[in-house]
Structure 1
Amino acid sequence: MLYEQQQLQNHMMMLDLRNKKADGSDSIEEEKHENVDLSSMSLDSLPNPSLNLATICKLDLSNNNLQSIPESLTARLLNVVVLDVHSNQLKSLPNSIGCLTKLKVLNAAGNLLASLPKTIENCRCLEELNANFNKLSMIPDTIGHELVNLKKLTVNSNKLMFLPHSISQLTSLTSLDARLNNLRSLPEDLENLINLQVLNVSQNFQYLETLPYSIGLLISLVELDLSYNRITSLPDSMGCLRKLQKLSVDGNPLVSPPMEVVEQGLHAVKEYLSEKMNASHQTSKKKSWVGKLVKYGTFNGSARNHHNTEEREGIIMSEYRSIDGLASPRYSGMFSPRRLFSPKNIFTR
């Protein structure tokens, strides 16, 4: 412990010296690219250094025992682009995180967060937000209206019952991982997620029973993991997901499409759903959705017209892959594939 504290003091002294150089013409740009690594030092708290924190571009405080981050310290990280606080004991993030207007990557995984501060919506340059392995029961309602540059949102292994409706406004989003939560439903209006390529809402177990019809308007979707939920019927609109290459549906009590269709592969599922929609769109609700599908150029009544024989398509029926980027070794065994599920078959075409 004394060694880690001495290491911290030495690091802070070096930074202090850099900022107190007599020659004011010394490369300010170089100082603004300072990377500070205080990870894995068994820190229980952070000092309030006299150095100019505005010189820090990347700050790594991960794998410590921090229970809080001082508001005053965060407010002075005016040029920080990457902030990594994963694997600590944080129960909250400081409200002053909203001052980090240049922040692009925030990793707060593996903590005890019950919520995210509303001020996070002011981090409008944010591109990656990782908050997995926490105790989140909600995400700020307005997050989708403000974080217009967000590309990757990872909130798996929390206690989320719903995702905010505004999440459908994240038009830059390419990856959304919300597995291992308590999700009851997904937002209805997903069609604005025009760049979403990967959607994982698996392992919400007994909670997630239905999917919104708008899932068929995710025109860029390549991978969709719905495994280990309570879904009995896939929306007919999913037959129009042209770019979809991987669909995981194992562990659901599926009735539509029936399992004999699912076992034939992804193309068979698409064709089944498309034909079902084409045959039953007489109701007013279905008519409105068919109109939208036609407008978005994903549906004209026949799955065969859209099948690209060179496109690799597949359905993953069983093998649960390990969780990417686990927050900390102390959590890594909680949901290991070997503990949860045994591998069966993978269907590809």
Structure 2
Amino acid sequence: MSRLQRVPGRDPRAGFRAEGRDCTTSVPQGLLKAARKSGQLNLSGRNLSEVPQCVWRINVDIPEEANQNLSFSSTERWWEQTDLTKLIISNNKLQSLTDDLRLLPALTVLDIHDNQLTALPSAIKDLENLQKLNVSHNKLKMLPEEIALSKNLKGLYLQHNELTCIPGFEQLSNLEDLDLSSNCLSIVPASFSSLLSLIRLNLSSNQLKSLPAEISRMKKLKHLDCNSNLLETIPPELAGMESLELLYLRRNKLRFLPEFPSCRLLKELHVGENQIEMLGAEHLKHLNSILVLDLRDNKLKSVPDEITLLQSLERLDLSNNDISSLPCSLGNLHLKFLALEGNPLRTIRREIINKGTQEVLKYLRSKIKDDGPSQSGSVAETAMTLPKWSPESIHAIVALKILDYSDKQATLIPDEVFDAIKNNIITSVNFSKNQLCEIPKRIVELKEMVSDVNLSFNKLSSISLELCMLQKLTFLDLRNNFLNSLPEEMKLLIRLQTINLSFNRFKMLPEVLYCISTLETVRLVHQVGSVDAQKMRMMENLTTLDPNNDLLQIPPELGNCVNLRTLLLDGNPFRVPRAAILKGTAAILEYLRDRIPT
């Protein structure tokens, strides 16, 4: 029984004790017997409030069956059976572990996730063979210094605890997988640089404002997740991590896309939901191996032609930016997925976008040919009608079915504009960035064809009845005007799917919106002070609600709007729910549902 000699401070009489009776109800004897043979014991989900002594002493005490039958077959010689190497006691009600943990020195796997632990015993240092430790989903506020002595540890899982700081891990030279997500960390120790074997590091959902430059010394790191933090910049040293393959920086405060001259193996870059305003050639030229590029929910205004440098790119997400046009060269990429929704695109009809990625790419490729030196007779004829318009505008009318009279600072739309399009089919209208105080009455002439209307950045204080007559309207952009109400007649827009009312003068969500059952996306940034959750349930198709406003409280009944896939609440002054709860739409809705009065 040489294994017994390895137990520090072991009672020399322990081998002659019978197993205590504390296990008879909580741990079946059959499980213990099987564990002595296999070296593995699974006590998950048994409602345990403490670990029975017989578990700690499974390799120390004489088993009960030895007292009942002294004649053992060759397979039942208890003194020759296996030391416990794997112990799973997850999904119980454990509030603490005792130092008896040291009685299991052969453990290589200890899984105690989903309990109520507030601390770990210092005896953790005696588990010299431990390779995997899972203490996730507990209530740990700090870690014992002794955890750094587990030199053979390869996987350490501490996500979903209450850690505000962590000890130096200098001696964990074999650690390959470290998960510290969903804690309260504000600083990453520079000593992390000593984790030279680390392959995966998850720091998401903390309160990090910066990353240490020393992180670049992790030469084997392939997967770095820093989603949902407060990062404003990324240390330039990060660009020197040659092994990095997956980088997640979603939901931070980045204003610039980092450059990655040395990250030539980088396959996925996720920087959605930041404040990035520019995408340049310098940001793209080194991403030779990139397969996935996520830039959604930023402030991009354009996509550079150099996007074609990303010849390996398969998935590109540009949704919810401020992009008005795309380079035709984008059509030469071999994309499997391209997301463009939520952009004020003026050069691609929405019906093409709705047909999916391949149709968009096909269209962009065709436009490369159309933009050549030769022009069709119909375009030339239109050019004669509207000599003051640029060739691009003429092309948009004839080929793209877009009426673009934007950014002219005009106080009204000239009649000749509407006269010129009488013989053409128009599906999109863009009158943005003018000085319009009212909607042109002649827009009603397009009621049977137009599906997109952009009237943003004008001086509109009311919506005309003519606009409400557009039978096929699906997308309406009214951002940055002086609106404080919407007419009841807007309920006639029975196909409206997306409406952007941001930066107006609304005090509450306009009543008529509750009556438009086809609405899928409502954006109301910086204005409303309340929403009616009960009425919102009538909006059965609503999937995106962005009230980044002056909401002082969120009605719990909003949690019943289960169709919502995107609920953006950042930027509101309410105190409940806490910012820590705002970690995704599903979590917010569940939080709200739990608070509905019964």
The two structures have a TM-score, normalised by structure 1, of 0.71
SS of residue paired to 1:247: strand
Residue 36 (1) aligns with residue 133 (2): yes
Q: 1:336 to 1:175 in 2, by over 3 A?
A: farther
**Aligned AA for 1:89?**
C
In the TM superposition, 1:302-313 aligns within 5 A as none
In the TM superposition, 1:230-309 aligns within 5 A as 230-242=322-334, 244-277=335-368
Mapped to 1, the partners of 2:353 and 2:333 lie a distance apart of 16
Give the match for residue 163 of structure 1.
Answer: 257
The answer on whether the counterparts of 1:62 and 1:87 sit within 8 Å (CA) in structure 2 is yes
Mapped to 1, the partners of 2:160 and 2:216 lie a distance apart of 26
Give the match for residue 539 of structure 2.
Answer: none
The answer on whether the counterparts of 1:15 and 1:51 sit within 8 Å (CA) in structure 2 is no
Q: 1:62 to 1:338 in 2, by over 3 A?
A: closer
Shift, 1:232, TM fit:
0.6
**1:148 is matched with which residue: 242, 246, 254?**
242
Mapped to 1, the partners of 2:356 and 2:203 lie a distance apart of 38
**Aligned AA for 1:164?**
P
Shift, 1:193, TM fit:
1.8
Shift, 1:12, TM fit:
4.8
The answer on whether the counterparts of 2:97 and 2:121 sit within 8 Å (CA) in structure 1 is no
Give the match for residue 276 of structure 2.
Answer: 183
Mapped to 1, the partners of 2:297 and 2:304 lie a distance apart of 17
Mapped to 2, the partners of 1:203 and 1:337 lie a distance apart of 19
1:213-249 per-position Cα deviation (integer Å, ceiling 9, x unaligned) = 221121111111111110011122211102x111110
Judge which range, 135-144 or 189-198, deviates more.
Answer: 189-198
Mapped to 1, the partners of 2:275 and 2:99 lie a distance apart of 40
Give the match for residue 230 of structure 2.
Answer: 135
Q: 1:111 to 1:130 in 2, by over 3 A?
A: same
Judge which range, 46-55 or 214-223, deviates more.
Answer: 46-55
The answer on whether the counterparts of 1:104 and 1:126 sit within 8 Å (CA) in structure 2 is yes
Mapped to 2, the partners of 1:227 and 1:338 lie a distance apart of 23
Mapped to 2, the partners of 1:75 and 1:322 lie a distance apart of 42
SS of residue paired to 1:143: helix
The answer on whether the counterparts of 2:121 and 2:144 sit within 8 Å (CA) in structure 1 is no
**2:146 is matched with which residue: 43, 49, 52?**
49
**Aligned AA for 1:195?**
S
Give the match for residue 308 of structure 2.
Answer: 216
**1:202 is matched with which residue: 296, 320, 323?**
296
The answer on whether the counterparts of 2:124 and 2:147 sit within 8 Å (CA) in structure 1 is no
Mapped to 1, the partners of 2:262 and 2:151 lie a distance apart of 32
**1:65 is matched with which residue: 134, 149, 162?**
162
Mapped to 1, the partners of 2:368 and 2:98 lie a distance apart of 65
**Equivalent pairs, count:** 282
SS of residue paired to 1:239: helix
Q: 1:57 to 1:182 in 2, by over 3 A?
A: same
In the TM superposition, 1:86-105 aligns within 5 A as 86-105=181-200
**Aligned AA for 1:39?**
S
Give the match for residue 17 of structure 1.
Answer: 126
Mapped to 1, the partners of 2:237 and 2:186 lie a distance apart of 21
User: Rg larger in 1 or in 2?
Assistant: 2
Judge which range, 222-231 or 34-43, deviates more.
Answer: 34-43
Structure 1: 5+ residue runs without aligned partners?
Answer: 20-30, 283-316, 340-349
Shift, 1:184, TM fit:
1.0
1:112-153 per-position Cα deviation (integer Å, ceiling 9, x unaligned) = 001111111111111101111111111111212x21111111
Shift, 1:272, TM fit:
3.6
1:6-60 per-position Cα deviation (integer Å, ceiling 9, x unaligned) = 36884656643343xxxxxxxxxxx3x6112222231111111177332211111
**Aligned AA for 2:331?**
G
SS of residue paired to 1:214: helix
Mapped to 1, the partners of 2:262 and 2:329 lie a distance apart of 20
The two structures have a TM-score, normalised by structure 2, of 0.43
Q: 1:61 to 1:7 in 2, by over 3 A?
A: farther
Mapped to 1, the partners of 2:183 and 2:332 lie a distance apart of 43
The answer on whether the counterparts of 2:148 and 2:172 sit within 8 Å (CA) in structure 1 is no
Give the match for residue 107 of structure 1.
Answer: 202
SS of residue paired to 1:149: coil
Shift, 1:266, TM fit:
3.2
Residue 126 (1) aligns with residue 221 (2): yes
Identify the structure with bigger relative contact order (alpha carbons < 8 Å, sequence gap 6+): 1
Give the match for residue 225 of structure 1.
Answer: 317
1:65-88 per-position Cα deviation (integer Å, ceiling 9, x unaligned) = 111112xx3212211100110110
Mapped to 2, the partners of 1:226 and 1:272 lie a distance apart of 17
SS of residue paired to 2:95: helix
Shift, 1:332, TM fit:
3.9
The answer on whether the counterparts of 2:565 and 2:585 sit within 8 Å (CA) in structure 1 is no
Q: 1:222 to 1:13 in 2, by over 3 A?
A: same
The answer on whether the counterparts of 1:169 and 1:193 sit within 8 Å (CA) in structure 2 is no
Structure 2: 5+ residue runs without aligned partners?
Answer: 1-48, 51-93, 102-119, 374-497, 499-519, 521-542, 545-563, 567-578, 591-598
Percent identical: 30
SS of residue paired to 1:161: coil
The answer on whether the counterparts of 2:581 and 2:588 sit within 8 Å (CA) in structure 1 is no
Mapped to 1, the partners of 2:217 and 2:139 lie a distance apart of 31
The answer on whether the counterparts of 1:53 and 1:78 sit within 8 Å (CA) in structure 2 is no
Judge which range, 4-13 or 47-56, deviates more.
Answer: 4-13
Q: 1:265 to 1:48 in 2, by over 3 A?
A: closer
Judge which range, 266-275 or 127-136, deviates more.
Answer: 266-275
Mapped to 2, the partners of 1:114 and 1:338 lie a distance apart of 27
Q: 1:235 to 1:48 in 2, by over 3 A?
A: same
Mapped to 2, the partners of 1:157 and 1:172 lie a distance apart of 23
